[in-house]
Amino acid sequence: MKKHTEIAVGIIRSQNCQIFITQRGEDSHLAGFWEFPGGKIENGETPYQTLLREIAEEVDIHIHQAQFLKVFKHSYEDRDITIHAYLVEEWDGVPFAKEGQPSRWVDQEDLNADEFPDANRPIIEMLKNLDKQI
């Protein structure tokens, strides 16, 4: 039976439509790819609680409000992933990668799905059309 992981991610978007992304560490699954900050949902946590905790731990910001976008599911050969995606546009602090991994701001329209794990491809597609939908 495959491992199943549920995660919550924050698409941290600035007022000028730039998205904050971080690079996966060398010791992680799919190392070297870029990702939206977030992490595994712990027992007893809601996806939103996980989002608040993980974003504070990883990028040192405190979310005021996040808009739930969608749940995405993806199967890799060795595991199944469920991603709860949130749009974060109001926060305190300045995002930075607290664990020392590379990080950067990217124009929303310039997000390149080839730089992300396959599970993130539909998120990037959605982001490229997001302002048309909202």
C-alpha atoms less than 13 angstroms from C-alpha of 120 in its C-beta half-sphere: 22
- The conformation of residue 64, written as its DSSP 8-state character, comes to E
For residue 62, give both structure tokens: 């405190």
> Annotated binding site for Mg(2+): which residue ranges?
38, 58
> Annotated binding site for 8-oxo-dGTP: which residue ranges?
24, 29, 35-38, 120
Specify whether the CB–CB gap between 116 and 39 falls below 8 A.
Answer: no
> Annotated binding site: which residue ranges?
24, 29, 35-38, 58, 120
